[in-house]
């Protein structure tokens, strides 16, 4: 072979080898890329929103129902609801939990507006771009997006009207309120007063707070009964107040003619209504509050229109309503 031909064959071989390597590596890179896309890139539609719901006391039927409603909404939507709260009411702990939710930059917070510290915390969250919904107790003066819960002033009025009707407009009343400071309890007392002050035969003789505990409700009712022997009726603005009032009246042997109206259709109150110790209950809608609060939060996150306030209608239950009421509850399970 001539020298020129040898050089030509060598160059051609080098060219063929180089092209083969390029094709091989190009294919490898393409394969690797497609693997990375499949394995590492997250599927956006699967990422869940993280919403924190802070309750007032987890070991309480009212808040259990709020949680069950929220859980139902969670099962229907692309959202993780972290439901947290102190076992027994503890405002400091509640505030800490809201603060932690802010620090973790969650997508939304649902919480009560119990006092100025709660208002400040809500404003902090909103400032950081985390939407807040108040539940059960509103803080109108905060920058929260919306409130869902009872119109507590109206609930107080309904309680007043029921008491007037049930006592034929003649009663000397002691009020045991859950708290003198929290807006929802203040409104429940205001609404009640507003109605009964127009009834000549009704007099409110004492007002004490129970810190939403059964023990303090009993202590305060006991003290009132000793100080005002003429009390014929009690109004309790919190779930456990009715039980405390009944216990105090029983220990002073005054329960027979005592009229008692209290908040919340929790099992113990229903049992006391059934056995005639309690005469009427103001029922709220905690399950609906929990359920709708999560749905509303998703509307806010998705920039959909939400109203300022969503009131859940309170109702009065008397003993005569109980069989219908129970049938309805069973039907809705």
Question: What residues line the site for ligand BGC (CB under 6 A)?
Answer: 56, 60, 62, 136-137, 178, 184, 212, 238-239, 263-264
CA–chain centroid gap for 199, Å, is: 35
Q: What is the closest distance, in whole angstroms, from the C-beta atom of residue 315 to ligand BGC in the complex?
A: 14
Provide the strand spans (E) within 124-164. 132-135, 146-149
Residue with Cβ nearer ligand BGC (74 or 264): 264
**Alpha carbons 115 and 137: distance in angstroms, whole number:** 10
CA 49 from chain centre, in angstroms, equals 18
Sign, CA torsion 104/105/107/111: positive
Minimum Å gap between C-beta 62 and ligand BGC is 4
Q: Which is nearer to ligand BGC, 60 or 157 (CB)?
A: 60
Q: Work out how close the CB of 49 gets to ligand BGC at its nearest, in angstroms, rounded to a whole number.
A: 26
Closer to ligand BGC by CB, 60 or 145: give it: 60
Could you give the dihedral angle defined by the CA atoms of residues 280, 311, 110 and 91, in that order, rounded to the nearest 10 degrees?
A: -40
For ligand BGC, the closer CB: 134 or 239: 239
**Secondary structure (3-state) at 125:** helix
Q: Which is nearer to ligand BGC, 224 or 265 (CB)?
A: 265
Please identify, using beta-carbon distances, which residue of 172 and 213 lies nearer to ligand BGC.
213
Half-sphere exposure of 70 (CA within 13 A, CB side): 28
Q: Minimum distance from CB of 88 to ligand BGC (Å)?
A: 10
Burial of 232 (0-12, 13-18, 19+ CB in 10 A): middle
Q: Closest distance between ligand BGC and the C-beta of residue 60, in Å?
A: 5
Report in angstroms how near the CB of residue 239 gets to ligand BGC at its nearest.
Answer: 4
The H or E element spanning position 311 is strand 309-311
């Amino acid at each position: 072979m001539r020298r020129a031909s040898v050089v030509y064959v060598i160059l051609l071989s080098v060219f063929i080898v180089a092209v083969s390597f390029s094709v091989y590596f190009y294919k490898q890179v393409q394969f690797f890329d497609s693997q990375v896309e499949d394995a590492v890139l997250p599927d956006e539609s699967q990422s869940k929103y993280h919403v924190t719901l802070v309750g007032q006391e987890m070991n309480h039927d009212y808040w259990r129902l709020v949680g069950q409603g929220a859980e139902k909404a969670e099962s229907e939507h692309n959202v993780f609801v972290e439901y947290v709260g102190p076992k027994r009411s503890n405002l400091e702990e509640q505030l800490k939990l809201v603060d932690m939710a802010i620090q973790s930059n969650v997508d939304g917070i649902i919480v009560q507006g119990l006092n100025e510290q709660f208002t400040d915390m809500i404003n902090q969250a909103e400032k950081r771009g985390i939407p807040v919904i108040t539940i059960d107790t509103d803080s109108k003066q905060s920058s929260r997006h919306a409130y869902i819960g009872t119109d507590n002033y109206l609930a107080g009025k309904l309680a007043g009207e029921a008491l007037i009707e049930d006592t034929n407009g003649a009663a000397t009343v002691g009020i045991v309120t859950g708290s003198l400071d929290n807006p929802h309890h203040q409104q429940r007392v205001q609404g009640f007063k507003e109605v009964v002050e127009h009834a000549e035969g009704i007099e409110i003789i004492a007002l004490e707070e129970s810190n939403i505990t059964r023990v303090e409700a009993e202590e305060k009712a006991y003290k009132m009964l000793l100080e005002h022997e003429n009390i014929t009726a009690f109004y309790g603005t919190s779930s456990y107040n009715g039980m405390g009032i009944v216990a105090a009246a029983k220990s002073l042997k005054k329960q027979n003619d005592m009229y008692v109206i209290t908040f919340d259709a929790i099992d113990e109150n229903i049992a006391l209504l059934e056995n005639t110790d309690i005469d009427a209950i103001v029922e709220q809608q905690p399950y609906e509050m929990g359920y709708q609060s999560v749905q509303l939060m998703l509307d806010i996150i998705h920039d959909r229109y939400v109203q300022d306030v969503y009131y859940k209608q309170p109702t009065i239950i008397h003993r005569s309503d109980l069989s219908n009421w129970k049938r309805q509850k069973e039907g809705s399970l």
